[in-house]
Amino acid sequence: MKLKRFLKEPQLLPNVEVSSKQELLELMSNVIAQSSIAQSSKLTTQDILASILKREEQSSTGLGDGFAFPHARFKDLNSIVIVIAHLKTPLTDYKSADGKPVSYACMAIVPESRPSEALQIMSQVATLFSDSAVRANIAKAKDGNEFYQIILASEKLVDEVVTAQAIMRKPFLTLNEDTALRTATLKMSSKRLNTIPVINDKKQIIGEVSTNSLFKLGIPDFFGQLKSVAFIKEFDPFEKYFFDEAHSKVGDIMNVDIPKVSPSTTIMEIVFMLAVKNIPKIYVVDQDDTLLGVVDKTLVLERIINF
């Protein structure tokens, strides 16, 4: 599947000027409504916008790193229709997963019976926009034709299989091994995170700190052998915990045996690791172990299963 199958110049919007997320979604819905496919399905701007907004109510389609993928499914639609926009001024009200302003958006309406095609579209567009050179070229495009030529020139670099690179998100927080453990626990609790990756000065991942490792910090080893806590129910492990926490660093308790995959790892391999091997979080790294992103079960539910 190639993007050019679904794109015409009017569906590529360079240097769009909008002041809000609502205005952007209205504009893109209107462009889609002008397509022959939408018109043959008797879909109006209002129909499209209403479905797009209903999907946004479930969770924001701001995927992170400046990219948004608003979308909706329609029962009587016979083909995908997409519109891609570059925003002259990034939108700060989109409520993306990483809190960053949105600079690029791809809106898609898809047949209800063919959601996998939309996943491929999302994968390809997200991969394109992850390339800084492509972003820079798109930002310079003067019209839809230039925008289209950039897409055509860049598309050959994109794998059509949905990969880790397309669905991953940037980590919300990272730590280094010299971070005080008390600082780490405060960050984890404030962001409601079960794990935080630990990186070195070269941005390479070297481990992770998890809530499990923090809990075990104050619990004696023999607890794991007990079948009941009846005879030691008055024992208070947290005195030891508070002492250890105050005098420890992240490097003292981090787990170095962590699951890592390349950006080209397929979605089926990811799902196997998460569902069958029951791995809670997977780290996406380049050939030098530089941390690029993370994938977990919640992310797959949001971007794939609940698509």
For residue 187, tell me if it sits in a domain.
yes
Q: Are residues 205 and 301 in the same domain?
A: yes
The pLDDT tens digits for 279-292 are 989 999 999 999 99
Q: Are residues 19 and 147 in the same domain?
A: yes
SS3 160: coil
Q: Are residues 8 and 128 in the same domain?
A: yes
CATH number at residue 26: 3.40.930.10
In the predicted model, what is the mean pLDDT of the chain? 83
Q: Are residues 239 and 129 in the same domain?
A: no
Which secondary structure element, helix H or strand E, spans residue 166, and what is its range?
Answer: helix 164-167
Q: Are residues 27 and 96 in the same domain?
A: yes
SS3 274: helix
* Confidence category of residue 119, pLDDT binned at 50, 70, 90: confident
Alpha carbons within 13 angstroms on the beta-carbon side of residue 119 total: 22
d(CA 271, CA 164): 10
Q: How many CB atoms lie within 10 A of CB 134?
A: 20
What are 107's strand-pairing partners?
83
pLDDT tops 90 at residue 226: no
220/145: higher pLDDT: 145
Question: Which domain does 265 fall in, by range?
Answer: 181-305
Q: Report the predicted TM-score, pTM, of the whole model to 2 decimal places.
A: 0.67
Number of H helices, E strands in the chain: 13, 11
Q: How many residues does the chain have?
A: 307
CB 211 within 8 A of CB 195: yes
Would you list the DSSP string of 230-260? GGGTT--THHHHHHHHHT-BHHHH-B----E
For residue 168, tell me if it sits in a domain.
no
Q: Are residues 8 and 141 in the same domain?
A: yes
Angle between helices 144-155 and 115-129 (to 10 degrees): 100
Q: Are residues 92 and 207 in the same domain?
A: no
